[in-house]
Amino acid sequence: MSASVVAVAVVMMLVGALLALLHATAATTSEVASASTPSALAGIPRTRVVGAAVTGFVVLLATGWLLLGAAAGLLTLLWGRLLHDERAEEERARVEAIAKWLEDLRDTLRGSAMGAEAALEQVAARPPVAIEVPLRTFAHRRRQGFRTEEALADLADDLAHPTSDAAIAAIRLVVGGAASAGRLHGTVHALASAARDEVTARERIDRTRAVYQQSMQRLVVIGALLVGYLRFAGGDLLDPYGTATGQVVLALPLAMWAGCVMWLRSLCRYDLPRRGRFATTAVSA
């Protein structure tokens, strides 16, 4: 193979690595910011930290490659989070809690003659776990004398989901007198059904994602075993990577691999539709 062909191939690989890293960085900016906080780091068990340090040290002693030892330690440390996005499970639990809240509100409106405000306060007294804080905050604001419309606007911001936005918008119309209370039950029933359908769809998607996550984990393990085999069975083939220049060159394929993994991991995110915003009207004295 001629030198020009090799040069073109190397340039194409570098461009691909750069594009993958840029895409992964843009897709996971918020996640990286949250992972850099002490609270996120505190969630990593001490045994995982010790295991990562031991793994990195063993790889460093076995290969003599500082960069590979650091990569092995970092991979061990973030193994549970690198190929698994907990935010997807949290978002699904949140949608399911919103569906339960709407179903409870629907049943309360149907089974009693109370108005929308009284039904909201009664339902907020028995909130689902995933949205317990926003609903209890809503009930607390009502007890402090906040207007129902203001408390509902704050509740919509706390829940931060399009389905709850639509439900709260309908409730605000009833509370404000712009719509009849008789239609509220049907609207809440339709939104509760839509939220329940969304939960079912996300469960199906997550089961499919689990298959791909297991495949990704197998690919990572196979790649690590392949590098180890080449290091110990390849003779002098990989000796140039032991130099300072070789470590810099080794950073390129590692960056490509990390970019591809982060790109695949970004597929685990849920992209919600744009939320509806509430316009607050100033009350003149």
**Rounded distance, CA 70 to CA 55, Å?**
9
Distances (CA, A) of 228 to 59, 109, 222: 9, 65, 10
pLDDT digits (tens, 9 = 90+) for 80-106: 666 666 677 788 888 899 999 999 988
Domain ranges within the chain, ordered by starting residue: 3-86+213-268, 88-200
Please write down the long-range contacts of 54-63, taking CB distance under 8 Å and 24 or more positions apart: 62/231, 62/232, 63/231
Name the stretches of the chain with pLDDT < 70: 1-44, 80-86, 112-113, 177-182, 235, 267-285
Query: Degrees (nearest 5) of the Cα angle 255, 241, 253?
Result: 20
Q: What is the dihedral of CA 214, 232, 67, 262, to 10 degrees?
A: -20
Give the pLDDT score at 39.
Answer: 39
Dihedral of CA atoms 150, 131, 102, 283 in degrees, nearest 10, equals 0
209-214, long-range: CB < 8 A, 24+ apart: 209/88, 209/267, 209/268, 212/264, 212/267, 213/83, 213/84, 213/268
CA 128 and chain centroid, separation: 20
Please tell me the predicted confidence (pLDDT) of residue 15. Answer: 54
pTM: 0.63
**What's residue 206's pLDDT?**
80
Tell me the C-alpha distance between 94 and 42, whole Å: 23
Per-residue model confidence (pLDDT) at position 34: 42
Q: State pLDDT tens for residues 131-163.
A: 999 999 999 998 898 888 889 889 988 888 888
